[in-house]
Amino acid sequence: MIDIKEIISMLPHRYPFLLVDKVTAITPKESITAIKNVTINEEFFQGHFPNDPVMPGVLIVESIAQAAALLAIKSFDLVDHSVYFMSIDSAKFRKIVRPGDTLVHKVKFLKVRGSVYKFAAESFVDDVLACEAEITAMVPPKSSDK
């Protein structure tokens, strides 16, 4: 398990853009299960949509990407490196995500080629598939990070 303090030490994201609350399972170089607790206090609900709050799909994908970054960081000792989201393929949104929901991201490595990492992900709410996607990320050499 990885708690929020360790997540903050690994990812550069901060409120309101830190979208992973904890990791419940991780098998380095294989998979990760991460949690995002969705609350009405999220800033995006002020405008999406005031009378019908729905978590934007792009933020579900961002939350998945952060979980994938944690998997890469833990798998390849990349704590002092940045993991950059490169692409998303085959994204499908199957269920509306609302305040009070808990998103459970299950992310698996598909392949690693050099500094490029490809992942398959599924996100669930109450064991119902909410989103599925394949994402690609890269880790540039340390000298070009920033």
pLDDT over 90, % of the chain: 94
Distance CA 56, CA 118 (A): 23
Catalytic residue among 13, 48, 81, 105: 48
Confidence grade of residue 17 (pLDDT, cut at 50, 70, 90): very high
* Exposure b/e, 119-142, CB count within 10 A at least 16 = b: bbbbbbbeeeebbbbebbbebeee
Confidence grade of residue 142 (pLDDT, cut at 50, 70, 90): confident
Q: Where does residue 85 rank: exposed (0-12), middle (13-18), buried (19+ CB within 10 A)?
A: middle
Specify the 3-state DSSP secondary structure of 71: helix
The domain made up of 4-144 has a fold known as Thiol Ester Dehydrase; Chain A (3.10.129)
pLDDT, tens digit, 9 for 90 and up, residues 28-45: 999 999 999 999 999 999
Q: Active site includes 48?
A: yes
